[in-house]
Amino acid sequence: MDAETEAAETEAAQLYICTSCGFIYDPAEGDPDGGVPPGTEFTDIPDDWFCPVCGARKADFEPYEE
Ligand SMILES: [Zn+2]
C-alpha cells in the first residue's frame, strides 16, 4: 500500500546534470556549500545558483535520465 507513495516520491526526485562538466545534482543531497539545503528540488534552486564544480549557470543543467 505504501509502495505507490514511495514510487511517487522517487519519481519527483529528478536528478539534473551539468552539461558543461557532468556534475549531477541530487535533490536528496542538495548543495550545502552553495547555500542549497538537502531536499531541495532543482526547480526550487535560486536562479543565481551555479555549478559547484565548474561554475556553469543553472540554465546549463538539464534533466538527467539514468
Ligand atoms: Zn558543472
Q: Report the predicted TM-score, pTM, of the whole model to 2 decimal places.
A: 0.79
Per-residue pLDDT, averaged over 41-64, amounts to 97
CA pair distance 5, 20, nearest whole angstrom:
34
8 pLDDT more than 90: no
* CA 12–ligand 1 middle distance (angstroms): 22
Residue in the structure block whose three cell numbers are 509502495: 3
Q: What is the pLDDT of residue 13?
A: 84
64 pLDDT more than 90: yes
55 pLDDT more than 90: yes
* CA 56–ligand 1 middle distance (angstroms): 5
CA pair distance 61, 56, nearest whole angstrom:
8
* CA 34–ligand 1 middle distance (angstroms): 13
* CA 65–ligand 1 middle distance (angstroms): 17
CA pair distance 35, 47, nearest whole angstrom:
12
17 pLDDT more than 90: yes
Residue in the structure block whose three cell numbers are 538527467: 64
